[in-house]
Amino acid sequence: MATLTFLGAIEGVTGSNYLLSVNDSRILLDCGLFQGRREEEAGNLKPLPYAVDDIDAVVLSHAHLDHSGRLPLLVSQGYRGPMYMTDPTSELVAVLLKDAASLQERDAEWENKHRRRAGKEDISPLYTLEDVDDTLSYCKGVAYNHRLNIAPGIDINFLDAGHILGSAIVEVFITESGVKKKLVFSGDLGNSQAALLRDPQQVSEADVVLMESTYGDREHRSMEDTLQEFETVLDEASQNGGNILIPSFAVGRTQEIIFRLGELYQKGKLKHQIVYLDSPMAIAVTEIYHRYQDVYNIEDKALIRHQASQSSLHTFLPILRYSMSTDESMQLNNIDRGCIIIAGSGMCNGGRIRHHLKHNLWRRQSHVIFVGFQAIGTPGRSLVDGAKTYRIGGEEIAVKASIHTMGGFSAHASQAQLIDWLNAFQNKKLKLYLVHGEKEAKCALQKALKNQGWSAQIPTLNETINF
């Protein structure tokens, strides 16, 4: 009998990890980092909850670190098997894992300086750049809608999840003792209002469904209202003469913002003279997005090709400039008006955005536009909640700039969109499990689904089900 064990993204939205056992094979669905508060990130230091030698294959839904970030740890502990993912995901994973390893090496080095002075032993990073290079050698890109056998009695098929470039809904076809079963893992489902990517593909048949519930308790503001507010803020900033700072996540959100700015530019509505993308990782990701325009939705792809001679986000927004080096980034601090700066990190808890905030927050004519969720305890959340000062490098910066939040740019499906996706399944008696969500979101979605005739279960950590 096939079994599935829930090992991550059960008590929250990070650490996605599920162990599927079929016949004599063991398959991992995702292997993500635990992220967030210190107690949550401590989960990354715990021993992996399975023997690495027993794992036959890994199947990755998409590149975000909460789904992929422990793959190098798996390899560092001896895993030498295939890792299946879509082709775009294989490229994005290389960028994200290398960045994660660099940060972990840097943090370990900084911590060890303090430990040595205190007479303590050095600590090691969770994994290194060398571990990442080893990991990438096992990554195998697979096209959407291409059924593939990965172990005896186990086939997989990737469907477009519309969340970020390359994100996938994973269909797992199981044959055990002549009995056929099908498991569907939603991965992270995209917001159908978002730009560039296609809507999540629908599935009609399954015996078991694992469905994410990140926004299971809320609806998104309409994209029409969001874009109108976005345009209004840009106009106001232009009249004030100040800079606009947009803290943004490197994968997905940055590319959407560039596209939306491009729409305004092509309509003659963008009055700012120049847009800087000041994030080496976001620049690398944007170039990957350019190479995979075949997975864009038809409407946005046609618009880009009609307006831009070379058919890319960069030519769609010709005033876009890349700031790669540290020196180029620092030169932006000399600009006090008329530009838009997109930089990471999205929650302002690291990256180049912090220095741009230092040089712009105290200016009344400046504007800061938050286009993503700001977790409790992050500098971004403090600014959204009305903080009067911002601390960086021991210096307190007065917050005089205008602060704006625009939740309509979310890359996750809302409650209604999640329900619509699920309602495409024909059998309401299938086994349905809600994962990847905070308790409140899962409970709200469970209740809403019950009203639709669905019986959804909320699994517990380390729970194993048979099917």
* pLDDT at residue number 372: 83
The encoded tokens of residue 13 equal 């939205």
Specify whether 312 is located in the same domain as 400: yes
* pLDDT at residue number 238: 87
* pLDDT at residue number 439: 94
Specify whether 264 is located in the same domain as 333: yes
* pLDDT at residue number 449: 98
Specify whether 377 is located in the same domain as 307: yes
* pLDDT at residue number 310: 61
> Residue 198 belongs to what domain range?
3-218+411-466
Specify whether 192 is located in the same domain as 333: no
Per-residue burial over 437-455, b if 16 or more Cβ lie within 10 Å, else e, is beeebbbbbbebbeeeebe
Specify whether 240 is located in the same domain as 360: yes
* pLDDT at residue number 403: 96
Query: Of 369, 394, 409, which residue sits at a domain end?
Result: 409
d(CA 23, CA 459): 23
Specify whether 445 is located in the same domain as 359: no
73 residue type, one letter: L
**Domain of 197: which CATH number?**
3.60.15.10
Specify whether 247 is located in the same domain as 265: yes
Q: Which of 85, 81, 80 is nearest to 32 (CA)?
A: 85
Q: Which of 284, 247, 254 is nearest to 405 (CA)?
A: 247
pLDDT tens per residue across all 467 residues of the chain: 899 999 999 988 999 999 999 999 999 999 999 987 778 888 999 999 999 999 999 999 999 999 999 999 999 999 999 999 999 999 999 999 999 999 999 989 989 998 999 999 999 999 999 999 999 999 999 999 999 999 999 999 999 999 999 999 999 999 999 999 999 999 999 999 999 999 999 999 999 999 999 999 999 999 999 999 999 999 988 888 889 999 999 999 999 999 999 999 999 999 888 999 999 999 999 999 999 999 999 999 989 987 755 667 888 999 999 999 999 999 999 998 899 999 999 989 889 999 999 999 999 999 999 998 787 778 998 999 999 999 988 899 999 999 999 878 989 999 999 999 999 999 999 999 999 999 999 999 999 999 999 999 999 999 999 99
What CA–CA distances, in Å, run from 340 to 9, 225, 335? 35, 21, 10
Q: What pTM was estimated for this model as a whole?
A: 0.93
d(CA 160, CA 297): 11
* pLDDT at residue number 293: 93
The encoded tokens of residue 263 equal 């729409």
What CA–CA distances, in Å, run from 3 to 158, 187, 434, 462? 21, 19, 17, 12
Give the total number of structural domains in the chain.
Answer: 2
Specify whether 188 is located in the same domain as 232: no
Query: Of 409, 436, 451, which residue sits at a domain end?
Result: 409
* pLDDT at residue number 309: 56
**Domain of 248: which CATH number?**
3.40.50.10890
CB 166 within 8 A of CB 111: no
| β-bridge partners, 276 | 321, 341
End-to-end CA distance of the chain: 6
CB 84 within 8 A of CB 156: yes
Query: Of 376, 393, 409, which residue sits at a domain end?
Result: 409
Specify whether 155 is located in the same domain as 102: yes
Specify whether 293 is located in the same domain as 394: yes
Specify whether 18 is located in the same domain as 166: yes
* pLDDT at residue number 448: 98
In this structure, the number of other CB atoms found within 10 A of the CB of residue 128 comes to 17
Specify whether 119 is located in the same domain as 168: yes
